[in-house]
Amino acid sequence: MPTSRRDFIDHAFRLAALALAAPRGARAAQGPAPARRPAGPHDRLRIAVIGVNGQGGFHLDEWLANPDAELVAVCDCDPNAFAKQKPRFAGRTLPEYVQDVRRLLDRRDIDAVSIATPNHWHALMAIWAMQSGKDVYVEKPCSHNLEEGRVMTDWARRLGRICQMGAQSRSMGGMRRAIDFIHAGKIGPVRTAHAFCYKRRKSIGNVNTPAPLPEGIDFDLWAGPAPNGVPVREKLHYDWHWNRLTGNGDLGNQNPHELDKARWGLGKHDLPRRVATLGGRLGYVDNGDTPNSLVTIFQWDDATIVSEVRGLTMKADVSRAADAVPLRVGNIWWGTDGYVVAPNYSSAVAFDYDGLELGQWQGGIYQQHFANFVKAVKSRRPEDLHLDIAEGHLSSGLSHLGNASFALAVPAAIGTRPKLAADEPRVAATFAGFEAHLRENRVDFAVTPLRLGRELVIDPATERATDAEVNALFTRDYRKGYELPRT
């Protein structure tokens, strides 16, 4: 039986691992464009997938496997992205390829779109689709900045559209039962949750020339709301995650899954009141400008989430519990009488502080989240969604708050701590492990400095900060023709 708190955590993770990823401004003014007859309970939804260079391939598989859906079109500004997906359709009818999303959204024979583009396109594309009379499944984060998430939610309500964010844990049976266990008070009141993402992210290179463009790509469409200058880096695709103009770093890439689960377990349905960060783009110099290593503290009046992103190499012999788990992403919820550990999207195990196992849950497949979307489209009830856009906005918003804090960071010496939640032992332990990890990777802080983010003070009712400089980071400059259609 474990004999220390660290042993308890290690025991939990090991057991869990054994037990068990044309602007629509005029249209908005006139109201939504007519769509085809809303799908009834026995109809198959006609679906189009937008963005298939990465995660969109997974969307294609999910819709092809769904008996209640018919995949009729694929849209991507890069024709090479569609070409590499063609083998998925062997023996099937090849869906129509459309390069320009505006032409796709003009079609009235499509019920819903499934969006897996770079983050900077998520909100605008989803809003255009809803204005065109379509329902929307959009990948996490649902937005590129805080304002976009609120505007998306407002449009969904105004137009009566169904809009779900793709954080698949919400539909996993094992995870849903674990969260029910927490909400039932089985580990006592829960005041602290840990969301961690330990994923090695290599340097994207350090060049001084624009990325080569794939043949046939419409780069103006790729850029969309962002500036249309070709980014300076080795390749265009995927590495957009690590540039703030198009992506949100791993805090807004992998960690929205973990932040969503953390907030879900705490039962919080608003933004936190205070946010602080410590980290940096550490261990290498490259063309990325988002942090690869970051601790973020989110504090409500009666609860705290500590988020930890480690983007450098994880040693096999490190002592932290999560490092013994093959999938190094997950959550811990700490209650007064015990804790729950979730080392993946679908499984969890609970213990009391004497090491007694209180429960174990597992099960669920990714298709369930897509099936849940179909159910809500047919019922026309947003409340049937497991992750309605209103909740997706809040979880995405946590990423944006953390990135806003870091955007206003100043260089700091190793050993520096934010004042926020300084007395919380789980927070202190997280910082200690985080710094040990940086030392193990021999980070030269003279070359890649550690930075202390500004502490943000947020009014959850207005979703605004007390600082105008911070509020400016909650939106962006939109290129002409790609403006955010505010309600």
Backbone angles phi, psi at 288, to 5 degrees: -80, 150
Backbone angles phi, psi at 276, to 5 degrees: -145, 155
User: Does residue 374 fall inside a structural domain?
Assistant: no
Q: Which of the 8 DSSP states describes residue 469?
A: H
User: Does residue 460 fall inside a structural domain?
Assistant: yes
Report whether pLDDT(172) > 70.
yes
State the DSSP H helix or E strand holding residue 190, giving kind and residue range, or none if neither: strand 190-198
User: Does residue 222 fall inside a structural domain?
Assistant: no
- Residue-wise pLDDT for 94-119, tens only, equals 999 999 999 999 999 999 999 999 99
User: Does residue 22 fall inside a structural domain?
Assistant: no
Instruction: Print the domain residue range for 416.
Output: 5-16+170-208+246-363+390-474
User: Does residue 199 fall inside a structural domain?
Assistant: yes
In single-letter form, the type of residue at position 242 comes to W
Does residue 177 sit in helix, strand or coil?
A: helix
Integer Cα distance of 303 and 166 in angstroms: 25
Sign of dihedral through CA atoms 377, 383, 388, 390? positive
The answer to whether the CB of 460 falls within 8 A of the CB of 270 is: yes
Residue 469 CB neighbour total at 10 angstroms: 11
User: Does residue 34 fall inside a structural domain?
Assistant: no
Give residue 33's pLDDT. 47
**Which residue intervals of 268-388 are DSSP H helices?**
367-379
Give residue 367's pLDDT. 87
User: Does residue 264 fall inside a structural domain?
Assistant: yes
Does residue 127 sit in helix, strand or coil?
A: helix
Give residue 382's pLDDT. 97
Q: Do strands 163-166 and 304-310 pair parallel, antiparallel, or not at all (unpaired)?
A: unpaired
- Could you check whether the bond before residue 141 is cis, i.e. omega within 30 degrees of 0? yes
Backbone angles phi, psi at 69, to 5 degrees: -130, 150
- Residue-wise pLDDT for 173-224, tens only, equals 999 999 999 999 999 999 999 999 999 999 999 999 999 999 999 999 999 9
* Mean pLDDT value across the chain: 91
Q: How many domains does the chain have?
A: 1
Report whether pLDDT(286) > 80.
yes
Give the start-end residues of each E strand in 199-313.
274-280, 293-299, 304-310
Cβ-based neighbours of 13, under 8 Å, separated by 6 or more:
321, 322, 324, 325, 341, 343
Give residue 316's pLDDT. 52
Burial class (CB in 10 A: 0-12, 13-18, 19+), 18: exposed
**Which residue intervals of 380-424 are DSSP H helices?**
389-407
Integer Cα distance of 190 and 202 in angstroms: 35
- Residue-wise pLDDT for 229-275, tens only, equals 999 999 999 999 999 999 999 999 999 999 999 999 999 999 999 99
User: Does residue 161 fall inside a structural domain?
Assistant: no
Sign of dihedral through CA atoms 296, 291, 240, 254? negative
Report whether pLDDT(2) > 60.
no
- Residue-wise pLDDT for 427-439, tens only, equals 999 999 999 999 9
Q: What is the CATH number of the domain that holds 273?
A: 3.30.360.10
